[in-house]
Amino acid sequence: MVKIILHGVDGLSEHEVPEGSNLVVLAGVKKLPGLRYSCGMGRCTRCASRVIGGAEHLPPPNWKEERMLGEDKLAEGYRLLCQLTISHDLEIVQDRLPLKPAWKRLEQKV
């Protein structure tokens, strides 16, 4: 079992989940309450979270994360939880409002 510390919209919560879990799948079957998610496929960014502990155990961002989060948010430690399989303890923060995809943030700057 691995420990997940979630700083979510509903406050701080701690969970133990099986190694090899996908947190969005667990949230979908009500085993990880308080985790915001939607599509589960890396297209909406609702599960985007800033990893503040355990990031060194995660694989490098995949192409979906690069496209949807952009270099700026990846550099700040954001990841798409739907794209990750968890094998070590992790501490994550979900912002009060969902992160917009990189291309929408770029459109707003223009």
Angle, vertex CA 56, rays to CA 50 and CA 61, nearest 5:
60
pTM exceeds cut of 0.85: yes
> Has residue 99 got a pLDDT over 80?
yes
Percent of the chain with pLDDT over 90: 77
Average pLDDT of the residues in 45-71: 97
Residue ranges of alpha helices (H) inside the chain are 23-28, 63-75, 102-109
* pLDDT given at position 64: 96
Dist CA 81 CA 62 (whole Å): 12
> Has residue 110 got a pLDDT over 80?
no
Per the structure block, which two tokens stand in for 6?
Answer: 């979630």
First-residue to last-residue Cα distance in the chain:
46
Q: Return the CATH fold of 2-109.
A: Ubiquitin-like (UB roll) (3.10.20)
> Residue 18, SS3?
coil
* pLDDT given at position 105: 78
Q: Are 83 and 104 in contact (CB under 8 A)?
A: no
